Structure 1
């Protein structure tokens, strides 16, 4: 996956459970932060005020797992 070469894939635990890809059962992921856009804020051009989520992208198949607290 050439798009995610900035960081080395790693194993992660969330709430004391190892993160395993839902699609291919891989256990290593790249991380990234994504903005969560809402229609109202997009309409008002205030997308920058929306919340963010941490995404774990499977190093094997590319499936993206989203987590928000």
Structure 2
């Protein structure tokens, strides 16, 4: 079980903080559903590695060709 402290953002206004306890029970555990959710999440939010690497190097102001040469060595 975990305890969390939360503030919600509703219509650009935050609520007062509140706490909640999570309830974990093995009664509803289903590996098939977990695998389906992981696959769905990867398809919805996942991006190809080369695009992520290019975005990171651009944000850092690195030369992509120079980075590739260094990795090849």
- The TM-score range, normalised by the shorter chain, is under 0.3
Q: How high is the TM-score relative to the length of structure 2?
A: 0.23
Q: Which has the higher helix share?
A: 2
- TM-score normalised by the chain length of structure 1: 0.24
Between the two structures, name the one with larger relative contact order (CA 8 Å, sep ≥ 6).
Answer: 1
Q: Which has the higher strand share?
A: 1
